[in-house]
Chains A and B, each alone.
Chain A
Amino acid sequence: GQSLEQPSEVTAVEGAIVQINCTYQTSGFYGLSWYQQHDGGAPTFLSYNALDGLEETGRFSSFLSRSDSYGYLLLQELQMKDSASYFCAEGVNAGNMLTFGGGTRLMVKP
């Protein structure tokens, strides 16, 4: 089974801030990535953390705590177009093997 855990669904209103959590358990961890997938589309890369701390890319930020085996994706100033599924993914085996969590479906309401 998948070793990354994330909530299955989150709902928020336009303009709000939402945090999507991800916990992982695999040894040999090389980093945590986040991907966005709209219905019917392919996943696209959002962010990557190898070291503890916050990475900011526009309205999206991602955080990692290696000691807690935990990370999160923070989405600010939510827009309707942010309604999508969000996946965390971990790299193991020198970063060559990438496995995904089950995904969090974000619904943004007006």
Chain B
Amino acid sequence: NAGVTQTPKFQVLKTGQSMTLQCAQDMNHNSMYWYRQDPGMGLRLIYYSASEGTTDKGEVPNGYNVSRLNKREFSLRLESAAPSQTSVYFCAGKTSGTSSPLHFGNGTRLTVT
């Protein structure tokens, strides 16, 4: 049972390069989320998808795009990476219901030079 799987685990980009962070879940989650976490700080919501076919901006969406490809997959794209996007990115999913917990992937550590 894989849970929430993120790829890659590590990535180094040069400023201006683009890349897509992949996230897939096999827990039948309706909702999926992308967060970033900077050193010593909390998680900030970038985008979320409450259900297949919908996406919404979170707290810090600028510089990112997302795609909810199907129920299982939710990708995060950086079109032109900037050093300010150096961070650890976490994908998470949850089933319907306000009390359902978030299940997190293991994170992608991204460095932009």
Residues of A within 8 A of B (CB): 2, 30-31, 33, 35, 41-45, 48, 50, 87, 89, 91, 93-103, 105
Q: Give the shortest distance, in Å, between A17 (CB) and chain B (any CB).
A: 24
7 contacts between A and B (CB under 8 A): A33-B101, A41-B106, A43-B102, A44-B104, A50-B98, A100-B44, A103-B41
| Given A42-B104, A43-B90, A101 and B42 contact (CB-CB distance below 8 Å) | yes
Which 10 pairs from chain A and chain B are nearest by CB? A95-B98, A45-B101, A42-B104, A96-B50, A102-B42, A100-B43, A103-B42, A100-B42, A30-B98, A48-B99
User: Which residues on B sit within 8 Å (CB–CB) of A42?
Assistant: 90, 104-107
Q: Find the A residue at minimum CB distance from B48.
A: A97
Q: Give the shortest distance, in Å, between A61 (CB) and chain B (any CB).
A: 16
A35, A42, A87: most-surrounded residue (chain B CB, <10 A): A42
CA distance A32 to B94 in the complex (A): 15
User: Which residues on A sit within 8 Å (CB–CB) of B99?
Assistant: 31, 48, 50
Q: Give the shortest distance, in Å, between A58 (CB) and chain B (any CB).
A: 16
Interface size on B, residues (CB 8 A): 26
Q: Find the B residue at minimum CB distance from A40.
A: B107
Whether the Cβ atoms of B41 and A35 lie closer than 8 Å is no
Q: How many A-B residue pairs have CB under 8 A?
A: 64
Whether the Cβ atoms of A87 and B45 lie closer than 8 Å is no
Q: Find the A residue at minimum CB distance from B6.
A: A42
| Given A43-B90, A44-B104, A99 and B98 contact (CB-CB distance below 8 Å) | no
| Given A2-B59, A97-B56, A35 and B102 contact (CB-CB distance below 8 Å) | yes
Q: Find the A residue at minimum CB distance from B59.
A: A99
User: Which residues on B sit within 8 Å (CB–CB) of A102?
Assistant: 41-42
User: Which residues on A sit within 8 Å (CB–CB) of B98?
Assistant: 30-31, 50, 91, 94-95
Q: Find the A residue at minimum CB distance from B107.
A: A42
Please provide the chain B residues from 85 to 113 with a CB less than 8 Å away from any CB of chain A in the complex.
Answer: 90, 94, 97-99, 101-107
User: Which residues on A sit within 8 Å (CB–CB) of B105?
Assistant: 42
Please provide the chain B residues from 46 to 62 with a CB less than 8 Å away from any CB of chain A in the complex.
Answer: 48, 50, 56, 58-59
